[in-house]
Amino acid sequence: MDKKLKIYIGLLVLIVLGIFYVESVKPKEINWYPSYAAKHKIPYGTYVLHKEMPSLFPKSEVKDVYQNPYVYLKDDKNNGTYFFLDNKVNFDKDELNQLLEFAERGNDVFIATNGIHLDTLQIQTSYLTTSAFEEKAYQKMSNPIFGGKEYHFDRDFSKLYFSEVDTLNTTVLGELVVRNENDSIISKKPNFIKVNHGQGNFYLHTFPQAFTNYNMLLDSNYEYVANVLSYLNNQQKNETGAGGGSNSRSAILWDTYYKTGKSRITSPMHYILSTKSLKWAYYIGLIGVLFFIIFKGKRNQRLIPVITPLKNQTLAFTRTIANMYYEKSDHKNIAEHKINYFLEYIRIKYRLSTLNIDERFYKNLANRSGNSEEKVVTLFKKIEQIQLKSSITEEDLVALNKAIEDFKAYKKQ
């Protein structure tokens, strides 16, 4: 290994080590992905709420449900409050029917999402827009018992509210309040409602961000979450249970199926790259293989033989003829070479033997070359005359060359 290669490898190692160092010491970027998964501690995860659920519902059991509602609610022994929390929740027809039956027999369904379609409950949602130059949105409970306190979420979000509801079966529990730069209320819309259905209820909320880690730890916003969930707490059938005996314990059924950030392993490589330790192990392994190829390949590489390119024999032949002509003026020798080259030309181009130069040969050559038989005979008579002479003049050589070139030129026409 030469000195120059060692310098390059050393620089490569320093660059790789520098990249590792920078990656290890630089501040980790905040992940604002709307996960809503209970295992995630990122701002839009729900790790804090999930951990606090047992304290918010001390008389209830918190169960994680990993199946879709249609499969899980097939067993009618599953009762309590089905808790849905995600960016978007869209049930298919069978799932919605199961949830409706679940509520009809005295259970509750809580859904906090930025988008949902529940035409069966006769509700519609819309997005609130205002003309205020600077606006702030607040969440507020409607019941005066909560003191009318407003809670502010300091990040942008879609201001979804309930534009149409079934007034006979719906109760407004919370509102979205929008204020302008002068702190004056410019809009107030319902964003938390209760819809009666059978013996149970649907609790619908259009601001799922309120239940995320970021909002729970922002100022006193956890109070708002506790106020919202207090409606569920008051509805627990702690003594008789929904559809159960006197000793049954109601449950909070925490949905983990409808979660944007739920665990998905689409491929082994996806799993490796999604885990920090495995990802760096994979990269280090690739770098190790690269070094192995560089050093091992250079050590064991077989020598590549040097192939000398073929010499240009045509150029050598031309130089030989030129020397003979200009230096020695050996016209006879030049003519002999010219004749031999011409006979070789006939053998290759027209596939004719030149051993016997007779009438049959003249006829075949005339037919294949396109020249007249008379022209062919005249040319070969001239060749024969030159071959019989011991020496020839320059004029004889020029005449021979012209006759041969005329013969070839006719073929090219």
In tens digits, what is the pLDDT along the chain, a chain of 413 residues? 567 777 877 888 888 888 878 777 778 788 889 999 999 999 999 999 999 999 999 989 999 999 999 999 988 788 999 999 999 888 889 999 999 999 999 999 999 998 877 878 889 999 998 877 788 999 999 999 999 999 999 888 889 999 999 999 999 999 999 999 888 999 999 999 999 999 999 999 999 999 999 999 999 999 999 999 999 965 444 444 444 443 445 799 999 998 876 655 445 776 677 677 888 888 888 888 887 777 766 555 566 778 887 766 766 776 676 666 656 677 888 888 889 988 998 999 889 998 888 999 999 989 988 889 999 999 999 999 988 888 888 888 888 889 888 888 875 44
Number of Cβ atoms within 10 Å of the Cβ of 7: 10
Q: Are 130 and 122 in contact (CB under 8 A)?
A: no
Question: Residue 211: which of 195, 199, 222 has the closest Cα?
Answer: 222
Alpha carbon separation from 279 to 12, 276, 285 (Å, rounded)? 20, 5, 10
- CA torsion 217-221-223-224 (nearest 10°) is -130
Q: What is the pLDDT of residues 104-151, one digit of tens each?
A: 999 999 999 988 778 788 899 999 988 777 889 999 999 999 999 999
Q: What is the pTM of this model?
A: 0.60
Taking the C-alpha atoms of residue 154 and residue 34, their distance in angstroms, rounded to an integer, is 16
- Beta strands per DSSP E along 142-184: 150-152, 160-164, 170-179
Whether the CA torsion 317, 320, 323, 326 is positive or negative: it is negative
Helix pair 394-412, 331-349: axis angle to 10 deg? 20
Q: What is the CA radius of gyration of the chain?
A: 48
Amino acid at position 83, single letter? F
Helix segments in 91-168, DSSP class H: 93-104
Domain range list for the chain: 3-29+267-300, 47-255, 313-412
Contact 139, 234 (CB under 8 A): no
Count CB neighbours of 292 within 10 A: 10
**How many Cα atoms occupy the beta-carbon half-sphere of 345 within 13 Å?**
12
Q: What is the pLDDT of residues 41-93, one digit of tens each?
A: 999 999 999 999 999 999 899 999 999 999 999 887 889 999 999 998 888 89
Kindly give, in sequence order, each residue whose CB lies less than 8 Å from that of residue 341, ignoring residues fewer than 6 positions away: none
Q: Specify the residue for token string 């449950």.
A: 251
Residue 305 has φ and ψ, to the nearest 5°, of -65, 145
Cα–Cα distance, 386 to 403 (Å, whole number) = 13
Cα–Cα distance, 374 to 10 (Å, whole number): 82
Polymer length of the chain: 413
Helices 373-388, 331-349: axis angle to 10 degrees equals 140
Residue 192's CB is within 10 A of a number of other CB atoms, namely 26
What topology does CATH give the domain 47-255?
Rossmann fold (3.40.50)
Residue 137 tokens, joined: 């949105």
